[in-house]
Copies of this chain bind each other. A is one copy, B any other.
Amino acid sequence: MTRYWWVNHKQTVRQEIAGNYLWSPKAEANGVRSQFYDNLRIAEPGDFILSFASAEISFIGQVADFALSSPKPEEFGSVGIYWNREGWLLPVMWKSIPNPISPQHLLPTIAALLPPKYSPIHPRTGRGNQKAYLAEISHPLFSAIIEHAHITEKELADEMAGLSQASFHSFSERLELAVEETIISDPSLGSTEKEQLLKARRGQGVFRANVGRIECGCRLTLIRNPKLLLASHIKPWRSCTTSLERLDGNNGLLLAPHVDLLFDRGLITFTDDGDVIVSSKLSSSDVDQLGLAGACRKNSGKFLPAQKLYLQYHRNVVFIP
């Protein structure tokens, strides 16, 4: 079901609009979690977002993909230097509104529609709630506002469909390229290690050999033919913070290509005991058509303690519940 959201951009509005995303830290600077940040993990492809900055709503967005874990985009520069480094990046397609809307002027109409908790603006003053970032709003509030912009939801959806897709793939590719550059220019790494780290991005080389010493085949399809298996990172290559993590055989599984895609996109994960957990976002008919319905109900085998550390990351950060 489509959800509706309202974002109070911070200083990074220009980067977020131009870059087709929203980004937030995962927690406040003091480590406390915030619903306004957690909401980036809850937003789903197809959801609509009102973009509020400088007291006006000037853009409407549609979520293009699930959020992925990402460091603060470099283009933010020193803005938000106190934010927690690891955050959520939500791919969003933005469309500008010809005549920006002032929610303050619409207060008589919309005040009663604002959420009682986690409201993005104050119901009496119309000013932005300082703490708010991404706030869920009701469909009636969303409708009331776009009506003032003389846009229908149908028109919005049609226009969005014509925009080039901001996708998980495009952002993970950018993050990986940024990591590659960091590796290539790291003076503390030798050329052999650099090559090993770069090959590991594609599940090749030393990383693959290391995984092969721990896993003997695909845990779901039971395939053992190496030509049909990919070496997949449990904690994604782009999210690893050390060379050790990127090359660690315990941070990998050998998976058939379709299982690899589901695991990589967070559509399946594993319990420490080896049971398969299927995301609520993966339809049972897709699981059926992939021929994985039986395998998803079975135990896939125990994990080693060292694998469990990486699996915990996968469940918490990569998996889409």
Which one of A164, A202, A228, A265 has the highest number of Cβ atoms from chain B below 10 Å of its Cβ? A228
Select from chain B the residue with minimum beta-carbon distance to A230: B261
Interface string of A210-239 (1 = CB under 8 A from B): 000000001001110101100000000000
* A84 in the interface (beta carbon within 8 A): no
For this complex, 11 residue pairs linking A to B, each with C-beta atoms less than 8 Å apart, are A169-B202, A170-B204, A221-B289, A222-B289, A225-B286, A227-B265, A228-B262, A228-B286, A256-B258, A256-B290, A291-B291
Closest 3 CB pairs of A and B: A291-B291, A257-B257, A258-B258
| Complex CA distance for A227 and B290, rounded to whole angstroms | 13
Given A221-B289, A228-B261, A291-B292, list of 7 further CB < 8 A pairs?
A: A164-B205, A225-B283, A225-B286, A256-B290, A257-B257, A257-B261, A291-B291
Residue of B nearest to A295 (CB): B291
Contact call B291/A290, Cβ cutoff below 8 A:
yes
Is the Cβ of A169 less than 8 Å from the Cβ of B204? yes
> What chain B residues lie within 8 Å of A204 (beta carbons)?
169-170
Check if A260 is an interface residue, CB within 8 A of chain B.
yes
Interface residues of A in 283-301 (CB under 8 A from B): 283, 286, 289-292
A265 CA to B257 CA in the complex, in Å? 13
